Amino acid sequence: MKIPFLNLHNQYLLISQEIDQAISDVIKESNYIGGKSVKQFENSFAEYLNVNHVIGCANGTDSIEIILKALEIGLGDEVLVPALSWISTSEAVSTVGATPIFVDVHPDYYTINPNLIEEKITKKTKAIIPVHLYGNPAQMNRIIKIAQENNLFVIEDCAQAHAARYNNKLVGTIGTASSFSFYPGKNLGAYGDAGCIATNNESLAEKCRMLGNHGQLIKHNHVFEGRNSRLDGIQASVLNVKLQHLNKWTSQRQYYASLYDSAFCNKEDLIIPKTESSAEHAYHLYVLRSKNRQAIIDNLNKNGVETAIHYPNALPFVNAYKFKGYTESDFPVAFKVTKEIFSIPLYPELTKSEIEFIINCIINP
C-alpha cells in the first residue's frame, strides 16, 4: 500500500468547491494584499483563539522576528530557545541581532525543559521562546512562572500547534505574544507561505502591524522603518475556508493518534508520544522513538509507507551553529533523542485501514 507522509492534494479534493470559490472571489475583487479576506481571517482567527489581536504576516519565521523587534529585543540581548526545533526559532533571534541561547529539552515531552531554564538566565536574557513541538504544548505553567520571576517575555512558537490546548486554553494565548505559521503542511496551512502574530496587548499588536508594513498604519505615514511582511489575500482566503475545518481535522488527528498509542504502548523498544497532564496534543506530527529506528523505517518504506525524521540534528549541532563548538554533553537529551525519533504518517485524510496497515507493519514486521 502506498501511503505518502502527507497528502495535500487529497485534502484539496475534499474542500475543492469552497477553495475554488474563495480564491476566485479574491481574483474578482483583485485586492491581493490586505483587503477583505485578510481582514476576515484576522478577525476569525482572533475569535477562534479568543485573543484580542491577530496580525497576518508573510510567514511564520517573520512573525517571530517581528514580535522580537516590537519588544525591542536586539543586539546584546539573549533569548532562550529549545535545542530541538525547526531553525526558524533560533534564526529569528539572530536576525534581530540578539543571541539564541539553547536549552536542552525534556526527555518525555521533547519541549524546552523548565528545569534547565534558570541556569541559562543572565542579565542579558530578555525572553523565552517555548516551541509547542509536534503539536505538543510546552510546559507553560512552569515557563510562565519562571518568566514572571525573572521579568522575561514569553513568545510562543505555535507553528506546529494550531488547536493544541494547555489548561483548556488554546496555545498562542498564554504568553506575551505568539507566532503561527501557515506553511502548506502545517495543521492549518495556506497554499503558499503565510503566518501570523497573536497577542492580547494592544500597543504590541499595533507595533507589530506597523513593523510588517513599512512602519505605517496609514498609507505614506511611515512612523519608523519597518519591512514588508504581509499576508496576501489569496492565502487568507484559503485559510478562511480551512479554519472552518480545523477542529474536525484536529479531532481526527487525535483519534488516529489514540489508535497508534494503544497499538504501540506495550511494544518493547518503542516509545510513544507523551503529554503533560495539562496539555492537549494537536498531533501535527506523530513521533515515535526507538533504538531500532532504522529497521522500523526500512520495513515501513519497503511496504510503501513514507516516514520522516523531525529532526535529524538538534539545533546546536546543525552546521549554522558549529562555530559555537557545542558537544553532545551540552545537550545530551536533544542529542540522544534525534538519534532515535521518527515520524509516521498522521493526517485527517488517511483512512482507518491505512492507519491499521501502518500499525501492522510496525507490530508484525
Ligand X SMILES: *Cc1c(COP(=O)(O)O)cnc(C)c1O
Which residues form the interface with ligand X (CB under 6 A)? 59-61, 85-86, 88-89, 131, 157, 159-160, 181, 183, 193, 195
Nearer to ligand X, 100 or 195 (CB): 195
> Least distance to ligand X from the beta carbon of 158, Å?
8
CB 280 within 8 A of CB 137: yes
Nearer to ligand X, 186 or 207 (CB): 186
Sheet holding 165-166, edge to edge: 169-170, 165-166, 279-280
Pairing mode, if any, of strands 53-57 and 177-181?
Answer: unpaired
Query: How many CB atoms are closer than 10 A to CB 336?
Result: 14
> Least distance to ligand X from the beta carbon of 58, Å?
8
Nearer to ligand X, 59 or 199 (CB): 59
> Least distance to ligand X from the beta carbon of 59, Å?
4
Residue 166: strand, helix, or coil: strand
d(CA 182, CA 160): 9
> Least distance to ligand X from the beta carbon of 183, Å?
4
Angle at 247 between CA 246 and CA 251, to 5 degrees: 115
H helices, E strands: number in the chain: 11, 12
298 CB-near residues (< 8 Å, 6+ apart): none
The residue nearest ligand X at its CB is 60
Q: Terminus-to-terminus CA distance in the chain, angstroms?
A: 15
> Least distance to ligand X from the beta carbon of 159, Å?
3
Nearer to ligand X, 33 or 223 (CB): 33
> Least distance to ligand X from the beta carbon of 181, Å?
3
Angle at 193 between CA 191 and CA 196, to 5 degrees: 110
Nearer to ligand X, 58 or 146 (CB): 58
d(CA 341, CA 307): 11
Nearer to ligand X, 131 or 270 (CB): 131
> Cell numbers at residue 170, please?
488554546
Residue 80: strand, helix, or coil: strand
Nearer to ligand X, 104 or 157 (CB): 157
Nearer to ligand X, 187 or 361 (CB): 187
> Least distance to ligand X from the beta carbon of 62, Å?
7
Q: Inter-axis angle of helices 233-243 and 8-29, to 10 degrees? A: 130
Pairing mode, if any, of strands 279-280 and 169-170?
Answer: unpaired
Nearer to ligand X, 139 or 270 (CB): 139
> Least distance to ligand X from the beta carbon of 194, Å?
7
> Least distance to ligand X from the beta carbon of 338, Å?
15
DSSP, res 139: -
Pairing mode, if any, of strands 53-57 and 195-199?
Answer: antiparallel
